[in-house]
Structure 1
Amino acid sequence: MFRGRDCLSLMDYSRVEIETILATATDLKQKWRRREPHEYLRGRTVAVLFEKPSTRTRISFQAAIAHLGAQSFYMRPDELQLARGEPVKDTARVIDRYCDALVMRTFGQDRIEEFAKYMEKPVINALTDLTHPCQGLADLLTITEHKAKLDGVKVCYAGDVWNVCHSLIVAASIFGFTLHVARPKGYEPNDRIMKFATDRAKATGAQIVITDDLKQAVKEADVLYANTWHSMGGPEKEKEKRLKDFAPYQLNSEVARGAKPDYIFMHCLPGYRGEEMTEEIVEGPHSVVWDQAENRMHTEKAVLTLTMI
């Protein structure tokens, strides 16, 4: 089902396949908690190429690779001939001959898709501007751990309408849960993502609402999900505009009163206290942010294991 397959987007998977990944992640998490060996990838080598900075994704992937018994080596683009104009297809073919998989974090989705085109070994998306499938998997695992199931869940997402949001939209359309995306008018999801989600929702019954009404989005929500208002490395002028535009969309204890009493608070991190969230909510009893961060490692282990053995 998975062996040798790329993980470029959640759009590549069926519900059953994602449930298999989540079940595998749960099993690997239990083994890790019990300190049971699970070196299923001993003798394998994984290339890790990050063209964008990272904390959680880099650490979680390299920890996951080590726990699975494989070796990894981290590459920056300025260390490779890519920086001096070598074609992607040449670099991809060489990595394919030396390594058993490539984990890549980059800008355009077309770039990682080009690597995948010229590699026979699996290519795993560790974030592009369009999608963040591993974060999406960790989010689904976290929700199921704290809410038992995804059916009937309402998620309120408030923040930048970009890769993390896109992966949530895709996940909602596949699993049929309700997702309200609260954002200022003018910040819209990608057309490709919305077309997929709209088509899939017809079969699953998913309700995906893009709104500028935060109060309505929060109403009776099971999950409140904050994300940063400005992306890494963006222009300072754009950051200032975004801070102003998104200011009414902060998730805090006052706003959270509209959610269900047992709501959980999520954030993919890095988080900015005083902007998209308050100290009180991220450090409060409803926060599952650190469980969510840990689950990145377990879902990444699952993807690596399923695609490489």
Structure 2
Amino acid sequence: MNNHFYQKSWLKEIDFNQAELNYLIDFALHLKELKQKNIPHPYLQGKNIALLFEKTSTRTRSAFTVAANDLGAHPEFLGKNDIQLGNKESVADTAKVLGSMFDGLEFRGFKQSHVEDLARYSGVPVWNGLTDDWHPTQMIADFMTLKEVFGKLEGLTLTYVGDGRNNMANSLLVTSAILGINFKLGAPQDLQPAPEIVALAQKQAQLSGAEILITDDPKEAVQGTDAIYTDIWISMGENVDPKERISQLLPYQVNQELLAASGKSTTIVLHCLPAYHDQNTSQGQKLANEFGRSELEITDEVFLGQQSYVFQEAENRLHSIKAIMAATLGELFIPKEFFNDHLKSSENFVE
């Protein structure tokens, strides 16, 4: 076996270099093709996977469950009422117990320190399904989608508009910088990424040649971009005044006018979902009744329009998560030469 990912955890994007991220994107595309052709790929036959969820989930839970089954593994869901992280039992104690029973652990919750401690003490690969700081499994799906649409990643420009301090903004900024993709972010000044996140991205951009622009002008942010990305305006568990936040971010709504401001007919729209684009949910109806807004971060017209790839992006959560699990837990042969000189710069890989 020659697999430099083997037994490594997937905690945040900055732990991996450009070649490694590109490998996982290409591997995800390969696994998607195998799935579409009904070609079995049980790289994790007989493995047991624990899925730890403090936060609710549709795509992440579904993707990990189906991915595990497709790979021949057995997933076990443990919800917030089933796990005692930091409550009745320390994260370290939980990690040691679960690591002795399972071959890999997924965690979706609040604290990045929890997923880091699970990896530190469990002795098995741990995959971050989302924390307040990072959303690394989403990144492989997102950039996989960009590669499907444009046939390449090199030379692309990606723009994120909305709440620029959340996990999605952090992850997109840093991952774009690592991959050499130009990144622009449009957000009010007090909702822009933390200085330490920007510094991480700028350091990576110096290596990759990516250009970074952070502005409070949404039209400047989208001008000339290949993809516009947005997310919900109030993150899960965030305690803010909804009326104030909505008023603050309305200029950053992804509508037909903002989409046209890109100046390119080929610009696509992405969203990690769920999206407040209509009143067909109880939350949507509540927001409409309270604030007179049936659409928030994205309009229904754009969300369902021809330039929207949000559902292709959502499906790709499955294939990308499958690639991450198979690479880190499966006994794959990955030629060392694939990583070229990038291998030497990775702290994760040991010669």
Counterparts in 2 of 1:204 and 1:84: CA distance versus 1, 3 Å? closer
Aligned to 1:206: 210
- Superposed, 1:155-170 pairs within 5 Å as 155-161=158-164, 162-170=166-174
1:186 aligns to what SS in structure 2? helix
Out of 35, 44, 62, the position equivalent to 2:65 is 62
Aligned to 1:175: 179
Establish whether residue 265 from structure 1 lines up as the match of residue 286 from structure 2: no
Deviation digits for residues 120-168 of structure 1, max 9, x if unmatched? 1000000000000011111110001101111211111112221111111
Please tell me whether the aligned partners of residues 52 and 83 of structure 2 are also in contact (alpha carbons under 8 angstroms).
no
Shift of 1:37: 1.0
Please tell me whether the aligned partners of residues 173 and 200 of structure 1 are also in contact (alpha carbons under 8 angstroms).
yes
Aligned to 1:8: 11
Please report the TM-score for the alignment, with normalisation by the length of structure 1. Answer: 0.97
The one-letter code matched in structure 1 to 2:119 is A
Establish whether residue 244 from structure 1 lines up as the match of residue 247 from structure 2: yes
Deviation digits for residues 209-266 of structure 1, max 9, x if unmatched? 111101111111110112111112333x532221111011001112111221111111
Supply the distance in 2 between the matched residues of 1:277 and 1:124 (Cα, whole angstroms).
30
- Root mean square deviation, CA, Å: 1.2
Supply the distance in 1 between the matched residues of 2:25 and 2:227 (Cα, whole angstroms).
19
Supply the distance in 2 between the matched residues of 1:126 and 1:238 (Cα, whole angstroms).
27
Supply the distance in 2 between the matched residues of 1:36 and 1:262 (Cα, whole angstroms).
33
Shift of 1:182: 0.7
1:77 aligns to what SS in structure 2? coil
Aligned to 1:35: 38
Worse overlay, 15-24 or 183-192: 183-192
Out of 226, 232, 249, the position equivalent to 2:230 is 226
Worse overlay, 281-290 or 150-159: 150-159
2:241 aligns to what SS in structure 1? helix
Supply the distance in 1 between the matched residues of 2:61 and 2:243 (Cα, whole angstroms).
28
Aligned to 1:99: 102
Identify unmatched segments of 5+ residues in structure 1.
none
Aligned to 2:307: 286
Supply the distance in 1 between the matched residues of 2:329 and 2:121 (Cα, whole angstroms).
18
Aligned to 1:79: 82
Identify unmatched segments of 5+ residues in structure 2.
278-294, 331-351
Counterparts in 2 of 1:215 and 1:84: CA distance versus 1, 3 Å? closer
Shift of 1:180: 0.9
Out of 107, 112, 121, the position equivalent to 1:109 is 112
Please tell me whether the aligned partners of residues 163 and 192 of structure 2 are also in contact (alpha carbons under 8 angstroms).
no
Worse overlay, 73-82 or 198-207: 73-82
Shift of 1:61: 1.0
Aligned to 1:138: 141
Deviation digits for residues 93-124 of structure 1, max 9, x if unmatched? 00100000000001111111111111210000
Deviation digits for residues 162-193 of structure 1, max 9, x if unmatched? 11111111111112221111111201213332
Aligned to 1:150: 153
Supply the distance in 1 between the matched residues of 2:146 and 2:85 (Cα, whole angstroms).
39
Counterparts in 2 of 1:36 and 1:181: CA distance versus 1, 3 Å? same
Establish whether residue 197 from structure 1 lines up as the match of residue 201 from structure 2: yes
Please report the TM-score for the alignment, with normalisation by the length of structure 2. Answer: 0.85
The number of aligned residues is 308
Aligned to 1:277: 298
